[in-house]
């Protein structure tokens, strides 16, 4: 989604310190920092769910295939590999979406490097999908 179509109320940011020393001083200690990090992660996932159809499709695929692994006659290691391969696709898709959002934020005009970055992210997702399909085929066949 181009930046100008995103409502300003849905775009939130956390403060970004200017240098490392400032970052160390502004981060809360211990569990509070972990709690805040989880909040940022959840906010990122919600944004991806809202704006990226591929994320929604992959989450729905996860919801269908993870329970299926529980009824398949496979070892615990094989089950873990099946599930991990699905989550790997989701993680790579989230990274691809982050790359695309960053490129779109920098400029909506076409630039060869922008297209190259988006294409590389897409290639990474395709690689993750091929790997997941290979894992499933190797274990189930």
Catalytic residues: 93
> Do 115 and 99 contact (CB within 8 A), yes or no?
no
Provide DSSP, 49-69: HHH-HHHHHHHHHHHHHHHHH
> Do 130 and 108 contact (CB within 8 A), yes or no?
no
């Amino acid at each position: 989604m181009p930046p100008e179509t995103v409502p300003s109320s849905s775009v939130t940011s956390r403060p970004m310190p200017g240098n490392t020393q400032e970052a160390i001083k502004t981060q809360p200690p211990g569990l509070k920092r972990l709690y805040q990090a989880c909040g940022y992660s959840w906010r990122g996932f919600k944004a991806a769910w809202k704006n990226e159809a591929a994320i929604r499709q992959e989450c729905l695929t996860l919801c269908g295939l993870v329970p299926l692994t529980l009824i398949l006659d496979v070892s615990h290691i094989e089950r873990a590999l099946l599930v991990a391969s699905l989550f790997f696709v989701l993680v790579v898709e989230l990274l691809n979406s982050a790359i695309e959002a960053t490129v779109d934020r920098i400029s909506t005009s076409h630039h060869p490097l922008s297209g190259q970055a988006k294409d590389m992210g897409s290639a990474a997702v395709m690689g993750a999908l091929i790997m997941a399909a290979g894992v499933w085929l190797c274990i189930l066949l």
